[in-house]
Amino acid sequence: MRLVNRLQCGILLAGFVVLAPATAQPQNLATDSSGNRTLLVFLDCNAPYCDFDHARREVTWVNWVRDRTDADVHLLVTAQVTGGGGWDFNLDFIGLGRFAGQTHTLRHVSDPDDVDARVRDGLTQAIRLGLVHYAAQTALAPGILVTFDQPAGAPANGGQQENDPWNLWVFRVGFNGSLAGEANQRSYSVRGNASANRTSDGFKFNINTSGRRSVAEFDIDDTTTVENVSENYNANLLAVWSLSPRTSFGFTARAERSTFSNVEYGASGGPAIEFDLYPYAQSTRRSLTLRYSVETAYFNYELVTVTGRLAETRLRHELQLSANIQQPWGQVFGSVEGIQYFHDLGAHRIDTFGVIELRVFRGLSFNLFGGVSRIKDQFFLPAAGLTEEEILLQRRARETAFRFDFSAGFSYRFGSKFANIVNPRMGGGGGMFFF
């Protein structure tokens, strides 16, 4: 497990910070024995491996609170996947109240081969390290001890020299299958995937393939059985060059087969350019990207289409605006994407979606999801139309001009502001904050 501190705190490579048991049963203490206020912390994490129960069990020398308005420190954790398949966590420690203005960031990078428990423990250790800055200014200070575990074979100054025989290349393969059934119906599916990627600051290359075949059989009566077969195979290639902290240029390519979309086999590819209003280095907290691409697409169809074709080659372009913001007041992310074909400017598609999660005021949170698509590019539909069986089993795409999906909700929490105690008996209490 590697810990890297953006502020260049050297002890983050392999350090451990512990507190001596200066107080007994600290879980419910807002003050120490002398009446001095201890540290109140609000954990705000929508990243993988944020196990709130584990954090409360391991970091018992602070008081965990349920609302940021009660906290001395608002801990905001965000994450993104590294090129090697690990997780790059950003931990923003935001001082509130008496610590207003005292904000710092730690970065924790997990190894792709680490098991879940080790990733979780590493993230918890980063939380400990970041909280020491504030704990040292409270009544907890006398109980803080700092130790350093020297990694085996590391130089005495704590530096590490690493050799990468794979030169940043990472490969993955996977396969799974399923089988289910009852007296009058059966189903099975097989799927597999493989990928190879190499990620560096200046260049990113990724190629991945996946495939899935599903079969479902339904016995209508003693003599009639309906079979539904679905196949979907695709391969994607992406190559991206970093032009500046905010600009990148790339090339994409794709090959596919889809019974649902009437595509026997197809291929597409072309160049793309992207601009981010904010530096890519800030992407875990905020990004606003505009991407434009031009592609040549070839389709070979299973059935004659509504335009009377079994194969065609088309030129298209795409414009996408995406936003992602994660702040103490909540998060917003979404995109607007438009695709248009040059052979017929009326053949186009517009997809939009957005998610908003807001902390309105103390204890009250509001969330909203919405997605709308305008669909005017279904020239791949079979000319013969769909049978009732194909419609009910959703075997093939059906003609439509739009698609939408909305949901909204809120939650309100009140009562004790402390969230220190963990009691997992009979499945009760806490759980993993997993996004």
Given this model, what pLDDT does residue 78 score? 85
Give the whole-angstrom CA distance, residue 12 versus residue 88: 15
Helices and strands (H and E) in the chain: how many: 3, 22
Note the pLDDT tens digit of each residue in 394-405: 888 999 999 999
Per-residue pLDDT at 415 exceeds 70: yes
Dist CA 416 CA 116 (whole Å): 32
| pLDDT band at residue 301 using 50, 70 and 90 as cut-offs | very high
DSSP state for residue 151 in the 8-state scheme? P
Taking only the tens place, the pLDDT of each residue in 290-300 is 999 999 999 99
Class of domain 2-152+416-433: alpha beta
Residues 6+ apart with CB under 8 A from 25: none
**Structure confidence at residue 161 (pLDDT):** 52
Which single residue is written with the structure tokens 């944020």? 50
Per-residue confidence at 235, pLDDT binned at 50, 70, 90? very high
Binned at pLDDT 50, 70 and 90, residue 33 comes out as very low
The vertex-372 CA angle with 332 and 214, nearest 5°, equals: 100
Tell me: the pLDDT tens digits for 161-191?
567 788 888 899 999 999 999 999 999 999 9
**What is the reported pLDDT for 4?**
41
Q: Which pLDDT score is estimated for 317?
A: 97
Q: Please determine, for residue 243, whether its predicted confidence score (pLDDT) is greater than 90.
A: yes
The torsion angles phi and psi of 213, rounded to 5 degrees, stand at: -125, 125
| pLDDT of 358 over the 80 cut | yes
- Contact between residue 30 and residue 64 where contact means Cβ atoms under 8 Å apart: no
pLDDT tens digit string along 363-389?
Answer: 788 899 999 999 999 999 999 888 888
Give the pairing of strands 185-199 and 169-182: antiparallel
- Six-digit token string for 299: 């389709």
Q: What mean pLDDT is predicted for residues 345-365?
A: 89
Q: What sign results for the dihedral spanned by CA atoms 301, 304, 305, 309?
A: positive
Greatest pairwise CA separation for the chain in angstroms: 85
User: What is the separation of C-alpha 193 from the centre of its chain, rounded to a whole number of angstroms?
Assistant: 19
- What residues contact residue 166 under an 8 Å CB cut-off, 6+ apart? none
| Residue pair 131/39 in contact by the 8 Å Cβ criterion | yes
Of 393 and 131, which is predicted with more confidence?
A: 131
Q: How far is the C-alpha of 266 from the C-alpha of 159, rounded, in Å? A: 51
Confidence of residue 337 (pLDDT cuts 50, 70, 90): very high
Say what the pLDDT of residue 280 is. 85
For residue 157, the model assigns a pLDDT of 52
CA angle 162, 165, 167 (to 5 degrees): 90
- Report the percent of the chain where pLDDT is more than 70: 84
Architecture field, domain 169-412: Beta Barrel (2.40)
Residue type, 270: G
Domain ranges of the chain: 2-152+416-433, 169-412
What are the tens digits of pLDDT across the range 98-154? 898 898 888 888 888 787 888 888 888 899 899 988 988 888 888 888 777 766 665
Establish how many alpha carbons lie within 13 A of residue 101's alpha carbon, considering only the half-sphere containing its beta carbon: 1
Q: Which residue has the higher pLDDT, 328 or 299?
A: 299
Query: Two tokens at 423?
Result: 């009691």
H/E element holding 120?
helix 116-135
Separation CA 312–CA 315 (nearest Å) = 10
User: pTM value?
Assistant: 0.69
pLDDT of residue 108: 87
Cβ(334)–Cβ(293) below 8 Å: no
Neighbouring C-beta atoms of residue 263, cutoff 10 Å: 18
Distance of alpha carbon 339 from alpha carbon 20, whole angstroms: 61
Please give the pLDDT value at position 422.
62
Give the mean pLDDT of the chain.
83
- Statement: residue 217 has pLDDT above 50: yes
Per the model's pLDDT, the better-predicted residue between 113 and 35 turns out to be 113
The pLDDT tens digits for 417-435 are 666 666 667 764 444 444 3
